Each structure stands twice: as structure tokens, then as C-alpha cells.
């Protein structure tokens, strides 16, 4: 996720390593470790590190996409493997698309279900994220992914009260706008380009999740929103493995409402205007 000047997940340097938590690991340019410091975590909340560790493990359990191993965490820091950087290429992108489809297909107990061992009150970047399970995606998405951030954006003046109506209309019409029903997918949850690492081993690695059960089109919509190298090839691989329902491309703005409203709360009016445009597009206006 991004502000005009920086990505939403970049207030904190995240982490990868093998060490104990009783002494500081040797974190540097050539270190095999990456350290996520709790002092920089959202609101200095220890649940942020617990949620991240649980999310990484849950994504790794699917065995579908590479995820750095978590070697330990406490209320102050999270330690994982560091991913040596490589360069994006079309062949790896195609393979990543297939792996992302398999990750989503690994499923979740419910929409909004947190990873095993993860807290209900988690974070997406610096914003609170409540993982409250639900069985009906349109109702759950409106109640827990659109309306809370809409209220926050109106309360802080990013969106005007009169502008809230278009979002409320989207929420009312979600059952007809959502497309065919889908089972809960195992989502990364914050799948912007900065959380997609192209490794020196010619694998794509996923970091910094806001993992939960959700609709698979939401992860793909976030990749569209903030860009991803060789996105066309990623989508080609995804469609080969698990074809998307008809009309998915028209629903991209609907799924982008969530990250755009989060950005509106955190970064201001520019994202509020993008969220308004997405809401109108979701309604076909």
C-alpha cells in the first residue's frame, strides 16, 4: 500500500532470520536475517507482530508460494529469513500466478477468519484490521472491510458526509455486484508490489501479510491497484490454474474499495477521490 511519498507498509523495516530472541541478530546488508522491530510496529501493539508471524506461517502451510520462515517473535521483534533479491521475469511471473491460485485454493474456515494463532484485532499497514468470521461475503465485506474505513474517512474529513452515499449504495447492492459465490480463500491480504519479492533463486516470495479468509479477487485487485511486474503473465498463470468467474475484471474496482479506503484514512484526500471513483465504477457509473 502506498502514500504519495511512501508505501503504507514502509514505516517499518520487516524481517527474515535464524537466531534467538535473547540477543540481537546480526542484521545488515549481507545478513541472512531480517528484523521487524516491535518499537516501530503499528501503534506499538504486540499483537501486530503476533498477527504477522501467524500470517506468514499460515501462508507457508499452503505450500503454494514461497514465504520466509519465521524463526521466532516476541512482543518486541520478529525474526525471519532474508530473501536475496533478484529480478522480475515473465517465466517466474507465470509460475507465481499458478502458485497464488493454489494459495487461495488452500482456503480458510470463513471470510474474515484470522490465521491459526493470530489475533482477531490485527493490522493492515498502520490501520487496524478486525478479523471477524462470516459466512456471506457481500455482507462481511460491507460490514468489516468497507464501512469501518468509510466512517474513519468521513470522521477525519478525508471524505465529505455527502460523498458517503455512493459507498453505502455499493454496500446495499453488494449481493448483486459481487458475482458468483466463492468459498473463502486464503488471502495474503496486503498484496501490493512491495510485498512481492523477486528472489535471486527465481522464485517469488511473499512478505508482510495481513492474512485472513477472504475473496480471492481482492488479492488480485490489489496487485492491479499498485502494479506488479509482468502482471499479465501472473494473471495468465492464475487463470490456467484456477479460472476466475466471468466478469472478474469488472469487479476489480469493487475489491479495490477496501485498500483505497484504508489509504484514505491514513493518507488523505487524494486516496479518498480514488475511492470515490472506484465506488462509482463498481456501480457502473
Residues in CB range of 22: below 8 A, 6 or more apart: none
Report the sign of the C-alpha dihedral through residues 123, 124, 128, 129, in that order.
negative
Closest of 42, 46, 52 to residue 10, by C-alpha: 42
> Within a 13 Å sphere around the CA of 273, how many CA atoms are in the beta-carbon half?
2
The H helix count followed by the E strand count for the chain is 9, 9
d(CA 129, CA 84): 30
Half-sphere exposure of 199 (CA within 13 A, CB side): 16
Q: How far is CA 245 from the centre of its chain?
A: 21
- The reply to whether 166 falls in a domain is yes
Query: Within a domain: residue 94?
Result: yes
SS3 per-residue string spanning 172-228: HHHHHHCCCCCCCEEECCCCCHHHEEEECCCCEEECCCCCEEECHHHHHHHHHHHCC
Does residue 64 lie within any of the structural domains? no
Q: Is residue 186 part of a domain?
A: yes
Q: What's the length of the chain?
A: 285
What the block records as the C-alpha cell of 79 is 525474526
The CATH number for 230's domain is 3.90.1200.10
Q: So which residues are the catalytic ones?
A: 190
Q: In this structure, is residue 8 part of a structural domain?
A: no
Core vs surface per residue 110-146: b (16+ CB within 10 A) or e = bbbbbbeebbeebbbbbbbbebebbeebbebbbbbbb
> pTM of the full predicted structure?
0.87
Q: What domain count does the chain have? A: 1
Task: Identify whether 235 is part of a domain.
Answer: yes
Question: Which among 68, 69, 61, 65 is positioned nearest to 92, based on CA atoms?
Answer: 65
Give the model's pLDDT for residue 15.
Answer: 32
Q: Judge whether 145 and 262 are in contact, CB under 8 Å.
A: no
What is the C-alpha separation between 262 and 8, in angstroms, rounded? 10
Answer for the pair 204, 65: CB distance below 8 angstroms, yes or no: yes
Residue 136 lies inside a defined structural domain of this protein: yes
Rounded to 10 degrees, the C-alpha dihedral 140/142/145/148 comes to -120
Per-residue pLDDT of the chain (285 residues; tens, 9 = 90+): 554 333 333 222 333 332 334 344 444 445 565 655 443 445 456 788 889 999 999 999 999 999 999 988 777 788 889 999 999 999 999 999 999 999 999 999 999 999 999 999 999 988 999 999 999 999 999 999 999 999 999 999 999 999 999 999 999 999 999 999 999 999 999 999 999 999 999 999 999 999 999 999 999 999 999 889 999 999 999 999 999 999 999 999 999 999 999 999 999 999 999 999 999 999 999
Residue 191 lies in domain = 85-282
Sign of the Cα torsion 8, 191, 204, 133 reads positive
Note the pLDDT of residue 3. 42
Q: Is residue 98 part of a domain?
A: yes
Amino acid at each position: 500500500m502506498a502514500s504519495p511519498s511512501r508505501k503504507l507498509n514502509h514505516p517499518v523495516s520487516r524481517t527474515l532470520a535464524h537466531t534467538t530472541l535473547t540477543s540481537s541478530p546480526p542484521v545488515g546488508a549481507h545478513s541472512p536475517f531480517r528484523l521487524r522491530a516491535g518499537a516501530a510496529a503499528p501503534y506499538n501493539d504486540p499483537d501486530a507482530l503476533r498477527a504477522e508471524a501467524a500470517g506468514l506461517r499460515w501462508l507457508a502451510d499452503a505450500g503454494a508460494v514461497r514465504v520466509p520462515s519465521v524463526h521466532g517473535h516476541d512482543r518486541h521483534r520478529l525474526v525471519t529469513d532474508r530473501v536475496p533479491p533478484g529480478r522480475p521475469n515473465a517465466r517466474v511471473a507465470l509460475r507465481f500466478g499458478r502458485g497464488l491460485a493454489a494459495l487461495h485454493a488452500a482456503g480458510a474456515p470463513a471470510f474474515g477468519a484470522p490465521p491459526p494463532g493470530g489475533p482477531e484485532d490485527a493490522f493492515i499497514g498502520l490501520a487496524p484490521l478486525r478479523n471477524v468470521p462470516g459466512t456471506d461475503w457481500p455482507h462481511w465485506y460491507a460490514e468489516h472491510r468497507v464501512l469501518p474505513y468509510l466512517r474513519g474517512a468521513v470522521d477525519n474529513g478525508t471524505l465529505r458526509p455527502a460523498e458517503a452515499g455512493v459507498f453505502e449504495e455499493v454496500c446495499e447492492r453488494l449481493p448483486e455486484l459481487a458475482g458468483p459465490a466463492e468459498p473463502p480463500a486464503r488471502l495474503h491480504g496486503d498484496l501490493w508490489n512491495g510485498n512481492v519479492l523477486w528472489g535471486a533463486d527465481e522464485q517469488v516470495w511473499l512478505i508482510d501479510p495481513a492474512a485472513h479468509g477472504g475473496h480471492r479477487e481482492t488479492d488480485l485487485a490489489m496487485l492491479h491497484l499498485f502494479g506488479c511486474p509482468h502482471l499479465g503473465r501472473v494473471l495468465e498463470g492464475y487463470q490456467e490454474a484456477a479460472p476466475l468467474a466471468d466478469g472478474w475484471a469488472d469487479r476489480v474496482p469493487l475489491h479495490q474499495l477496501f485498500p483505497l479506503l484504508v489509504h484514505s484514512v491514513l493518507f488523505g484526500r487524494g486516496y479518498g477521490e480514488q475511492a470515490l471513483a472506484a465506488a462509482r465504477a463498481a456501480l457502473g457509473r
